[in-house]
């Protein structure tokens, strides 16, 4: 058995299935590039057959990514598999991931198929997929709740058909570490040709044990691939979190004895990028990437850490990308210093135009904010107006008046297809008035399903980072805005969400 643990990231597929986390093609491409920088082994880019939009995302990622394997999910039928193969054509290394449910409950109630039919379809699907591509993963959906004899029969058959990876998902997050680990072990012992494939774990977090279950699948069960997402993003309580599982294996190499190829120094940037893109805020006490993950508030801990770091620290903050809130740049910093800092933060802007746009925003921010932290720079480059080619709506300026006992009023000046317009409105508060002022002109009719404000670097001098989630005609989009003035940040976030609603790009549908 090899000592290499394969990290399979499914942020862009399973993560995106989380309601409200849908992403545009550009957003997915940026995240895929960050995953490549992280040296993720396999990037599950989407589910090509689920919509034209998702096909395009998989195709674009397959064209752009060179170092990681790019994978598309597909149901176990020829149409889905052919679509996945087509989307993966430009990939340097591509993988088709075909799945079918194997638990009695799913087969009977969801698929309305007999076990024999599922058995046959699994074989046919893997055979068809292997005719398209060499790297084929088979997943037994709801595998952990499946009958072990039936599952062994299916797995033996699909390995014979050429499946190179066998994934046993705990689809509903029902497993307990020891039981899940032993389940994988039993399967590997009982399937006669089990050594011909790599075994993979895919755990959901409904009972908060996705990371622990995945690690048990590796340690007890002998799996050598973990499927996970950045920040544990995913439906319901999410998936196994990449940063936690990777840092567990790295920090406790004494116990796991496995090599992971991940470059952990890019973890924080990846976490921030996913959080800013989806609007799913990272809780402060989240392991590895939470704002407090390396903060020592109590006097005893501070004293200990000052005397000897390892008294209370098992990992080094800088190893996962934290840079101790350094003041990195200021008003007088030039374009080269800015570009270099972006590179150090793992941010690669694609064109000179994007660098110029980001630098102009940086200068503007430096005029208004004396101290610029790494977090400010990351927020600034995740602002869509840096990367978006053409925007329908653009923020220009805002004025508002609020006074105790009076209804706040706002006037927002913004551009619509390059033409300056202004909207005015009253509201319950200054943010409400500002967004209503925009809406008074645009009349999108969209429903706001989420509004959140986050202080980027923790003090009142910090920039406010706002996420607005809008829903219209079945589409859900997230808009982000950052500014030292949270009312301006809110208006920018609202306009960014409107831009996404306006874009013709087909929304990516969740797994069917
Ligand atoms: O949770 C699950 O079962 C899945 C499969 C499609 C791999 O996401
Ligand atoms: Zn899943």
In the beta sheet, which residues pair with residue 39? none
Band of residue 327 on the pLDDT scale cut at 50, 70, 90: low
Nearest ligand, measured from the Cα of 172: 1
Distances (CA, A) of 96 to 52, 129, 388, 443, 497: 17, 7, 31, 43, 33
pLDDT above 60 for 325: no
Architecture of domain 4-278: Alpha-Beta Barrel (3.20)
What's the confidence (pLDDT) of residue 1?
A: 67
Query: What's the 22 CA to ligand 1 centre distance in angstroms?
Result: 17
pLDDT in tens, 367-412: 877 777 777 787 777 665 555 546 899 999 999 999 999 999 999 9
Which residues neighbour 507 within 8 Å (Cβ) at sequence distance 6 or greater? Answer: 22, 51, 53, 474, 475, 476
Q: Counting atoms of ligand 1 from 1, which one is nearest the CA of 141?
A: 3
Q: Best mutation site among 49, 171, 172, 510 for ligand 1, i.e. most ligand atoms within 8 A of its Cβ?
A: 171
Neighbours of ion ligand 2 (CB under 5 A): 14
Which atom from ligand 1 is nearest to the alpha carbon of 97? 7
Q: Are 466 and 451 in contact (CB under 8 A)?
A: yes
The residue nearest atom 8 of ligand 1, judged by CA position, is 14
Average pLDDT of span 246-272: 96
- Distance from residue 91's CA to the centre of ligand 1 (Å): 23
Q: Are 394 and 422 in contact (CB under 8 A)?
A: no
Residue 346: the pLDDT is 65
User: Which pairing describes strands 69-75 and 327-329: parallel, antiparallel, or unpaired?
Assistant: unpaired
- CA dihedral in degrees (110, 114, 115, 117; nearest 10)? -100
Q: Ligand 1 site: residues with CB under 6 angstroms?
A: 14, 99, 139, 141, 167, 169, 171, 202, 204
- Determine the distance separating the centroid of ligand 1 and the alpha carbon of 142, expressed in angstroms: 7
How far apart are the C-alpha atoms of 158 and 140, rounded to whole Å? 11
113-118 long-range contacts (CB < 8 A, ≥24 apart) are 115/150, 118/154
Q: Which of 104, 86, 107 shows the shortest CA–CA distance to 96?
A: 86
143 CA to middle of ligand 2, Å? 11
Contact indicator for 240, 226 with CB cutoff of 8 Å = yes
Q: Is the dihedral of CA 395, 401, 403, 407 positive or negative?
A: negative
Q: Which of 20, 55, 26, 12 is nearest to 477 (CA)?
A: 20
CA of 203 to the centre of ligand 2 (A): 7
Q: Which of 163, 169, 233 has most ligand 1 atoms within 8 Å of CB, for mutation?
A: 169
Q: Which atom of ligand 1 is least distant from the CA of 511?
A: 6
Give 228 Cα–ligand 2 centroid separation in angstroms. 9
N-to-C CA span, the chain: 35
Task: Calculate how far, in angstroms, residue 510's C-alpha sits from the geometric centre of ligand 1.
Answer: 12
CB 268 within 8 A of CB 321: yes
| Residue 507 pLDDT exceeds 50 | no
- Burial of 226 by CB count in 10 Å (0-12 exposed, 13-18 middle, 19+ buried)? buried
Q: Could you tell me if 61 and 84 are in contact, meaning their C-beta atoms sit under 8 angstroms apart?
A: no
Instruction: Reply yes or no on domain 390-503 having CATH 2.40.50.140.
Output: no
Per-residue pLDDT, 383: 63
Q: In this structure, are residues 232 and 239 in contact, taking their beta carbons and an 8 Å threshold?
A: yes
Name the closest-CA residue to atom 7, ligand 1. 139
State residue 342's pLDDT score: 80
Ligand 1, atom 2, lies closest to the CA of 171
Averaged over 460-482, what is the pLDDT?
A: 86
Cβ atoms 123, 158 nearer than 8 A: yes
Residue 274 in this model has a pLDDT that exceeds 60: yes
Q: CA–CA separation, 434 vs 449, rounded Å?
A: 17
Residue pair 446/393 in contact (Cβ under 8 Å)? The answer is no
Distance 101 CA to ligand 1 centre (A): 9
Non-local (6+) Cβ contacts of 395 within 8 A are 412, 414, 481, 488, 491, 492, 495
Question: Region 80-89: what's the mean pLDDT?
Answer: 98
Does this model's pTM top 0.95? My answer is no
pLDDT tens-place string over residues 106-126: 999 999 999 999 999 999 999
CA separation for the pair 439, 432 (Å, rounded) = 10
The atom number, within ligand 1, closest to the CA of 17 reads 8
Ligand 1 atom 5 nearest Cα: 141
pLDDT in tens, 8-28: 999 999 999 998 898 989 999
For ligand 1, atom 1: residue with the closest CA: 171
SS3 category, 293? coil
């Amino acid at each position: 058995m090899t000592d290499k643990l394969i990290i399979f990231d499914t942020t862009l597929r399973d993560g995106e299935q989380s309601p409200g986390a849908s992403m545009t093609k550009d957003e997915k491409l940026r995240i895929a590039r960050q995953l490549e920088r992280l040296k993720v082994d396999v990037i599950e880019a989407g589910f090509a057959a689920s919509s034209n939009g998702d096909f395009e995302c998989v195709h674009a990622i397959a064209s752009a990514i060179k170092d990681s394997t790019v994978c598309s999910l597909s149901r176990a039928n020829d149409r889905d598999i052919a679509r996945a193969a087509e989307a993966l054509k430009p990939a340097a290394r591509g993988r088709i991931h075909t799945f079918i449910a194997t638990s009695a409950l799913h087969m009977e109630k969801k698929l309305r198929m007999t076990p024999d039919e599922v058995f046959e379809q699994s074989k046919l699907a893997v055979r068809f997929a292997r005719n398209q591509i060499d790297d084929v993963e088979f997943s037994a959906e709801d595998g952990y709740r499946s009958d072990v004899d039936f599952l062994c029969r299916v797995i033996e058959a699909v390995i014979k058909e050429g499946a190179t990876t066998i994934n046993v998902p705990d689809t509903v997050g029902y497993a307990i570490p020891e039981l899940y680990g032993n389940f994988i072990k039993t399967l590997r012992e009982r399937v006669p040709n089990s050594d011909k494939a790599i075994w993979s774990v895919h755990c959901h977090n409904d009972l908060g044990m996705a990371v622990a279950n995945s690690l048990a699948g590796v340690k007890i069960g002998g799996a050598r691939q973990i499927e996970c997402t950045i920040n544990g993003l995913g439906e319901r309580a999410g998936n196994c979190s990449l940063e936690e599982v990777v840092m567990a294996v790295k920090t406790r190499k004494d116990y796991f004895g496995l090599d992971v190829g991940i470059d952990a120094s890019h973890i924080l940037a990846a976490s921030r990028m996913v959080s800013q893109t989806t609007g799913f805020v990272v809780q402060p006490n989240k392991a590895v990437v939470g704002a407090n993950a390396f903060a020592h508030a109590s006097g005893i801990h501070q004293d200990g850490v000052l005397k000897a770091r390892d008294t209370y620290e098992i990992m080094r903050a800088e190893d996962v990308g934290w840079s101790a809130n350094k003041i990195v740049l200021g008003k007088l910093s030039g374009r080269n210093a800015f570009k270099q800092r972006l590179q150090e933060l793992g941010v690669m802007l694609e064109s000179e135009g994007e660098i110029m746009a980001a630098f102009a925003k940086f200068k503007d921010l430096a005029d208004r904010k004396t101290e610029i932290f790494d977090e400010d720079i990351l927020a600034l480059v995740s602002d869509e107006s840096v990367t978006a080619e053409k925007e329908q709506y653009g923020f220009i300026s805002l004025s508002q008046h609020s006074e105790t006992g009076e209804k706040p009023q706002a006037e927002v000046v913004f551009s619509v297809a390059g033409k300056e317009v202004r909207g005015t409105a009253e509201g319950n508060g200054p943010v409400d008035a500002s967004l209503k002022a925009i809406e008074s002109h645009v009349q999108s009719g969209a429903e706001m399903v989420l509004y959140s404000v986050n202080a980027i670097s923790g003090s009142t001098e910090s920039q406010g980072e706002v996420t607005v989630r809008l829903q219209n005609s079945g589409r859900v989009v997230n808009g982000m805005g950052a500014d030292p003035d949270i009312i301006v940040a809110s208006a920018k976030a609202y306009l960014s969400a409107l831009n996404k609603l306006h874009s013709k790009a087909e929304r990516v549908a969740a797994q069917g």
